[in-house]
A and B are shown apart, each in its own frame.
Chain A
Amino acid sequence: MQLLFEQLLNGLQLSLTLFLLAAGLTLVFGIMGVINLAHGSLYMLGAYAGALAASKIGGFWLAVPAALIAAGLIGVAMELLVIRSLYARDHLSQVLATFGLILFFNGVIAWGVGRAPLQMDMPALLSGFLEIAPGLPYPTYRLAVMGVGVVVALGLWYVIARTRLGMLIRAGSDKREMVSALGVDIASLFTLVFGLGALLAGLAGVMVGPIRSVQIGMGEQVLITTFVVIVVGGIGSIRGAFVGALLIGMCDTLGRAFAPMVLKLWLSGPLADGLGAALASIMIYLVMALVLIVRPRGLFPAGG
């Protein structure tokens, strides 16, 4: 029971992290029609910037702004230099160009920082455990991550539902004329949205840093999971990204925790372990396949 509760919280924490990534990716696709494979690189760069700032200059509290600034700036530069040329191009060119970006960023990190994973320390303030229920301690840091995730999700909802920027975002790419008729510079709007997505990805990266190790390739793994999230949720929909992140985050965490156990009820020994591990790691893809069989455009298809 205690284990289940703990895993539910872990699942929630993963979900919120995934949401930070999925929100940016789905906005960029929904508004600009660009598939950005390098979104995971922004996550990785945020984590690296944070880890380096923490170890070289000092402290976790410096890591967060360092990650945000790095990811935001690199994101804006990426939009101005590369992504901008891809708006009018087909998906194939977009995939190829952003694939090139991933290789580049991985190469730069390997060259500048090295291939060995970095460890990032938690801030002392958050490194303990908090007894969230009698006899149930839970890492304070993870709670803090969840708190940030919830705050960002609410903030994003507010921006999109209540502000002028959100109205422009909701107007989407199919109403470009309308948006420009309002006297808005589309190019700046796109740069802003892309930068916002980069910021969220960097934030997710630096928050995950102390939980997992910071290494090359971390971006691609999470990118593919994020793809699953937005495909399940419906590409272009923030609400879909949120529901998809919850579904996928929970399935992944609970699957990893319980699939081997459940299989042991029927099977025995190493076979159950092997199958259980395999089942756990493909759980989210099975969920995706199931969703798509029923709804080929995801749970909340954007734009009808």
Chain B
Amino acid sequence: MAINRQIVAGLLIAACLLAVPFAAPYLGGNYVITLATRVVIFAIAASSLDLLIGRGALVSFGHAAYFGLGGYVVGICAFHLANDVTIFGWAGSNEALVVWPLAMLVSGFAALVIGALSLRTSGVYFIMITLAFAQMIYFVFVALKYYGGDDGLAMTSRNLFAGTRITNAQTFYWISLCALALCLLIQWRLVVSRFGMALRGAASNERRMAALGFSVYGYRLVAFVIAGMMAGLAGALWANLNRFVSPDMLGWVRSGEFMVMVIMGGVSSLLGPVIGAAAFLLVETALAGWTEHWQIAFGPFVLLVALFAPRGIWGLLRGRAGP
């Protein structure tokens, strides 16, 4: 029963996402495609966060750091190329197949260092420390006037993808959608693998896991790095979508928003974060179109989700019946 609903929901979501470019001309053209692209990119970031929050019970409140770092890698590489200034003797690059993996590596490395320190703590300490480290990176970029500081860094054009320009909104949407599909595929396999069992077991009962012989720190750190890399990819896509990066990408509000997406959609579910990202952006867009002071309505909405629907939209869809 539950399995059937999951499959139906998955097919429905996939159909909606696939239909966007075909339906867009009738719905408002590029605006809709751009909105859908934002949903897709946030879905990547949110699902990577769910690997930590949902599967690992690791409430990271600094996930925007990896998202923003990924974006800045793209922005900085383009900046050096455009201004003809080398960085560590390298001319910079505008090729997606070079800078996107680089963005993932840099974000993954940051996650490795931050995770190694943060995972020594647990509970509320972990929440606050991940937040504090993200703020640290935020302030570094605010202070780096060379890369625009507070004002951010604009890119003259999107990256080339294997040498081809991707100015077309549809093309970029397809690329982002492929990235999301890949991330979800990896997560789907990951969750049921031995690694996923160890990670979820540690979330469920750490004492039991220690008694069986698991040193949970290592598994958690690897999950942290994987999530950081996926968030870095999302950030690289985000930089390309907007042709702009700024410290706001790494700010704590963005981290909070990712968390809202995960919980609104439903923790510990493959598709929950995707639904959450879509719901978040649609509600936000609708409220923002209605009033400039949309936060007055959005804040209580978030509050109500936290109080009355802690299992999220996915939890409501799935109903109360069992796992």
Q: Which residues of A contact B (CB under 8 A)?
A: 29, 35, 82, 85-86, 89, 91-97, 99-108, 110-111, 220, 224, 227-228, 230-231, 235, 270, 274, 277-278, 280-282, 285-286, 288-289, 292-293, 296-298
Q: Which residues of B contact A228 (CB under 8 A)?
A: 128, 132
Q: Determine whether the beta carbon of B127 is less than 8 Å from that of A91.
A: yes
Q: Are B128 and A104 in contact, with the CB atoms below 8 A?
A: no
Contacts of A100 in B (CB 8 A): 298-306
Bound together, the chains give a CA A100 to CA B264 distance in angstroms of 12
Contacting pair B136 A282 (CB below 8 A): yes
Q: Given contacts A85-B307, A93-B310, could you give 17 more A-B pairs where the C-beta distance is less than 8 Å? A: A86-B307, A92-B263, A93-B263, A96-B263, A103-B302, A106-B295, A106-B299, A107-B298, A110-B293, A224-B131, A224-B252, A228-B132, A231-B132, A270-B145, A278-B144, A280-B143, A285-B132
Q: How far is the CB of B239 from chain A (nearest CB, A)?
A: 21
* Cβ proximity bits B115-140 to A, threshold 8 Å, 1 near / 0 not: 00100110111011101110110011
B interface residues with partner A (beta carbon < 8 Å) = 53, 59, 61, 117, 120-121, 123-125, 127-129, 131-133, 135-136, 139-140, 142-146, 252-253, 256, 259-260, 263, 267, 293-307, 310
The one of A107, A220, A282, A297 in contact with B295, judged by C-beta atoms closer than 8 angstroms, is A107
Q: Is the interface of B mostly helix, strand, loop or mixed?
A: helix
Residues of A within 8 A of B310 (CB): 89, 92-93
CB <8 Å contact, B144 and A274? yes
Central interface residue in A82, A100, A230, by most chain B CB within 10 Å: A100
Chain A at the B interface: mostly helix, strand, loop or mixed? helix
Q: Which residues of B contact A111 (CB under 8 A)?
A: 293, 296
The residue on A at minimum CB distance from B256 is A99
Contacts of A35 in B (CB 8 A): 124, 127-128
Residues of B within 8 A of A289 (CB): 117, 133
Q: Tell me if A93 and B132 are in contact (CB < 8 A).
A: no
B143 touches A99 (CB 8 A): no
Q: Which residues of B contact A89 (CB under 8 A)?
A: 310
**Would B61 and A292 count as touching, CB distance under 8 A?**
no
| A289–B302 CA distance with the chains assembled, in angstroms | 31
Cα distance A70–B142 in the bound complex, in angstroms:
33
* A296 and B121 form a contact (CB under 8 A): yes
Residues on the A chain within 8 Å of B295, using CB = 103-104, 106-107, 110
B299 interface neighbour in A92, A102, A277, A280, Cβ under 8 Å: A102
Known contacts A95-B259, A96-B263, A104-B296; is-contact A288 B306 (Cβ 8 Å) = no
Chain B residues in 8 Å Cβ range of A281: 139-140, 142-143
- Could you tell me if A288 and B143 are in contact, using CB atoms closer than 8 angstroms? no
Residues of A within 8 A of B132 (CB): 224, 227-228, 231, 285, 288
